[in-house]
Amino acid sequence: MNFIEQLESNPYIKHAPTGKQLAFLSLDNLEAFFGGGSGGGKSDALLMAALQYVDVPGYNALIIRDTLKNLTLADALIPRSQEWLINDAHWSEQKSKWTFPSGATLTFGYMDGPRDHYNYQGAAFQFIGVDEAVAIREEQVNYLFSRLRKLQGVDIPIRLRLASNPPTRMQASRGAWVKRRYVDPSTREKGVVFIPSLLDDNPYLDRSEYVKSLDKLDPILRAQLLLGDWETQAAGDFFKREWFRFIDKIPEQDVELRVRFWDMAATEAKPGKGKQPCYTAGLKMARTKNNTWYIESVIRFRKTPKDTEALIRQTADMDGRGVQIRMEMEGGSGGKITIDHYTRYVLAGFDFRGGRPIGNKSERAAPFAAQLEAGNVLLVNGAWNSDFIDEAVMFPIGEYKDQIDVAAGAFDVLTPGKGNAPNVYVF
């Protein structure tokens, strides 16, 4: 049975694939991406791909989105699967899983919090699909490769398949990796296949009515969803990507001061919920004799207050007692209590102080941005660079601002006596 005959005989695929979907389904390489404009049929393409081998005993497929809510909305993947799989497949609401007569399974899951990928630890799948990949972290997608395996002699390909529109303003800091890894031919990884799709590729939608709806959007979002434009991105007005310069090693002989600046948000991520809390972030910066500033590392996480204390203390021990520690003090008596607690119990013996911010976030970031533009701030090469820069270029309109807040704070601590410019933190 050839590929087309196999698809036509599959009772679970409810309509003929479009040309782009056929190209996507014909691939048997490890990693492929289907995406671009809204309405191009990407969700159907993922569902079809997941269902290709459900007649094979032992076949297990997983489809991931960022939240459970986004899987269950009207016309989302779970309701769509329930429209398609009305024959002899069995649905488990508790497990969000279909089981087929062959014993094969299709499971739906979410991956939003920074540790949600561990929900799949120990599981084995032959197909993993990721819908709206720009809403999910690259390192978590990388973890999913460890869940892809099959038994010896089973004649089905191992596949990771992703689909997405270009990232919106709120997704830009998390989703920039998708363009780099899958879309841009100059940075696309070897062996990865990109199938671009647009509204015009999907004959099942009423194009004229959908275009009328898209016409109501702002020009950037309209270009992204109608044209599949990965180049046009919303951006803030403080930082330009080309300002960032890198170095492998700091000239230690010239370093005068170092500080680790913390901005607290001691709240755990909420699994499966929509908007997530801010991060706790800690940035280490050094200043040399010739007034060059080096950002050495950025740590960011969402944890309980107890776990946050432990990680901040562990970081202080690793940085060493020669590194100053400063922390933004929240307003009201609660902020004072937190600083007092850290002074007495968590960071006793370290050069630690809490500081109250002056002005809004943009005003506090301005002195740091000026020195970055002038070429006087360098980033030490590290895994944190991409997330930091993606957040910076969206500042101040992006969803998260914690990394820029701590950069502005660290710069302020290391830069006393800025002429007529007042400090932006009072310690």
Domain identity same for 281 and 418: yes
Q: Determine, yes or no, domain membership for 235.
A: no
User: Based on the domain organization, do 254 and 197 belong to the same domain?
Assistant: no
| CA triple 302-304-115, angle to 5 deg | 45
| 15: its two tokens | 């309509």
What was the pLDDT predicted at 423? 67
**pTM of the model as a whole:** 0.58
Is 234 within a domain?
Answer: no
Specify the pLDDT at position 112: 85
Q: Which mean pLDDT values do the consecutive 10-residue runs of the chain (427 residues) have?
A: 79 89 93 85 93 93 94 92 90 95 96 90 95 91 92 84 81 74 88 86 67 63 65 67 94 95 73 62 96 96 92 97 95 89 96 91 89 95 91 82 95 74 68
| Cα 267 → chain centroid | 18
Answer yes or no: do 268 and 217 share one domain: no
Tell whether the torsion through CA atoms of 145, 146, 147 and 153 is positive or negative. Answer: positive
- 214 and 263 together in one domain: no
The per-residue pLDDT for 427 is 76
Q: Does residue 223 sit in the same domain as residue 341? A: no
pLDDT of residue 419: 45
Q: Domain of 223?
A: 3-227
Q: Are residues 204 and 279 in the same domain?
A: no
Give residues with Cβ within 8 angstroms of 75, minimum separation 6.
none
Same domain, 249 and 217: no
What was the pLDDT predicted at 390? 85
Residue whose C-alpha is closest to residue 111's, from 146, 143, 156 = 143
pLDDT at 105: 96
Q: Are residues 261 and 209 in the same domain?
A: no
In a domain, 65, yes or no: yes
Q: How far apart are CA 406 and CA 207, in angstroms?
A: 46
